[in-house]
Chains A and B, each alone.
Chain A
Amino acid sequence: MSIRDKVMGLYSAFVYAFLYVPILIVIVFSFNESRTLGHFTGFSLKWYQVLLEDKVVWVAFYNSLNVAVITTLVSLLLGTLSAYGMIRLDIGGKGAIDSLLYVPIIIPEIAEALSLLLFYKFSGYDLGWLTVLLGHIAFDISFVYVVVRARLAGFDRSLEEASLTLGANEVQTFLKITLPLSMPGIIAAALIAFTLSFDDFIKTAFTTGPGFQTLPLIIWSQSARGGVGPELNALTTVIMAISMTIAYIYARLTMEKQ
């Protein structure tokens, strides 16, 4: 390696540190015994204990999980249907439909969130679990569509043709060839859909009502006006651990594809 390469390597190391040091600090201070930030006085699990005994946190955790799981299942179904339809069906107007399916990814989240709020107010929905859920699904369908579609477009169609030539019918071909081959795409899409929903803050904040809190809403309300504390560090560590594990699995899956 030349000096130039070493400098570039060092610079990259600095950028990686920039990405990860803040996260490490949250994790480290979630195990700090004392409340003071910046002084590590000793290892302690007591903030996690506080979390475990906090009923509000448990309810919010249940709510986050509940919304994320249902969102994942429904958007997986609808997104996969649209991807399959767009790739395999022989119909006109595909370009237009494709653009429509991309719009939710392009539109800024806050604009989508407030339009949902106006829609709910107009239609007379009571804000809460259902309104949060419906909004998350609307957003996630497009992500599932993009990921599954890419997978379906990428695999060799002659495999399906071979199956048909060898005497399998369309349904058997779908179940034995198409579905297994698109599975990695579907799993990757499920992971994205789950994380997007589980972590989501802005859409949830706009579309929730009194009495329905998710974990990100707790972090938001407690950290408002600069309130940083060890309990919040512990909570953030837990949520980040969940999303980062899922992101890691996703990354490994998509790497293998290459």
Chain B
Amino acid sequence: MSWMESLIDFVRKYRLLVALLVLGPPLIYLAIYFFAPFLITILYSFGFIGRRGVITWEFTIKYYQQALRWVYLKVFYNSVVLAAITTVGSILMAYPVAYFIAVKAPKKWKNLLVVSVMVPYWVDFLLRTYALMNIFTMLKMMFTYEAVIIGMIYDYLPFMVLPLYANLEKLDKSLLEASYTLGATPLKTFLKVTLPLSKPGIASGTILVFVPAIGEFIVPSMLGGVSVTTIGTLTWDLFLKFHNWWRGAALSILYIAVVLVTLIIYMRKVGELEI
């Protein structure tokens, strides 16, 4: 056991070195394959040209000026509107379900009901959106705005149900009974007790749906075709169709800025994400 003793000795003696050995590999990996790419994206958005290590750079803000032109601002606006409709729609669909599972459903069914929401949560949007294409083709609804909205709600719904359920599950039911005993109607109890207490759940769900929905690419592209343009479809086209990386980079940086600002406001107001 002497090697083990010397290992333990080593661990005790060189705490900082051990920390480096443990935390170093994951952090270095992320630095190279996650954070460095973002720095490069920022450089590109300012006119950087680098191919295979050869660099030519003339600093310019013209790509941001292009990305802030009226046509693009309209795309931003459309994306935010679509994300907002998706968020409101999924709250309306998810809230009663989450409430039903958390408060009303018989205990033996609870797990099954939660699992049934969790399972689609792990299937990629591409596959579930393809599944919807079957129905919309039959209903001759392909490439309509309605199809895109239904598709967005369909894909994002589990992201709303789960945080709402997690919140409502913790709801102290004696508060509801107290409210009834004191003579409040069910509607009043809901508006004055349940709804205010579930605000953190609604907030978590809103962040989980609204933020990624702004940049959604798969749903508008598959179900909307060319009729619906969002930040996601625009980014895709700029990169993979037109190879205009610089404008695409500027657009993406602006989008990330919007996302981060939204999240920071959220964190300040509500605190931790619940999921």
Q: Give residues in A with beta carbon < 8 Å to B.
A: 1, 4-5, 8-9, 11-12, 15-16, 18-23, 25-26, 29, 37-38, 78-79, 81-82, 84-86, 89-91, 97, 100-101, 103-104, 106-112, 114-119, 121-124, 134-135, 137-139, 141-142, 145, 169-171, 192, 195, 199-202, 205-206, 216, 219-220, 223, 225-226, 228, 232-233, 236, 239-240, 243-244, 246-248, 250-252, 255
Interface 9-residue window, one of B60-68, B193-201, B248-256: B248-256
Q: Would you mind naming 23 contact pairs between A and B with Cβ atoms under 8 Å apart?
A: A9-B104, A11-B97, A15-B96, A15-B157, A21-B135, A29-B134, A97-B27, A101-B30, A107-B256, A115-B37, A116-B37, A118-B41, A138-B30, A139-B34, A141-B29, A170-B8, A206-B240, A219-B130, A223-B133, A226-B142, A247-B119, A251-B114, A251-B118
User: B38 an interface residue at 8 Å Cβ cutoff?
Assistant: yes
Given contacts A25-B131, A89-B22, A108-B211, contact A216 B124 (CB under 8 A): yes
Q: State which size class the interface on B falls in.
A: 35 or more
B252 partner, pick from A89, A114, A202, beta carbons under 8 A: A114
Given contacts A22-B134, A226-B133, contact A82 B211 (CB under 8 A): no
Given contacts A12-B101, A138-B34, contact A100 B27 (CB under 8 A): yes
A-B pairs, 8 with minimum CB distance: A199-B124, A119-B37, A247-B122, A115-B37, A124-B52, A85-B22, A138-B33, A82-B26
Residues of A within 8 A of B116 (CB): 16, 19-20
Q: Give residues in B with beta carbon < 8 Å to A.
A: 4-5, 7-8, 11, 15-16, 18-19, 22-23, 25-27, 29-30, 33-38, 40-41, 44, 50-53, 93-94, 96-97, 99-101, 104-105, 111, 113-128, 130-135, 137-138, 142-143, 154, 157-158, 186, 211-212, 214-215, 217-218, 222, 225, 232, 235-236, 239-240, 245, 248-249, 252, 255-256, 259, 263
A228 touches B137 (CB 8 A): yes
> Residue on A with the closest CB to B132?
A22
Q: Which of A23, A38, A97, A225 gathers most chain B CB within 10 Å? A: A23
Q: A183–B19 Cα gap in the complex (Å)?
A: 22
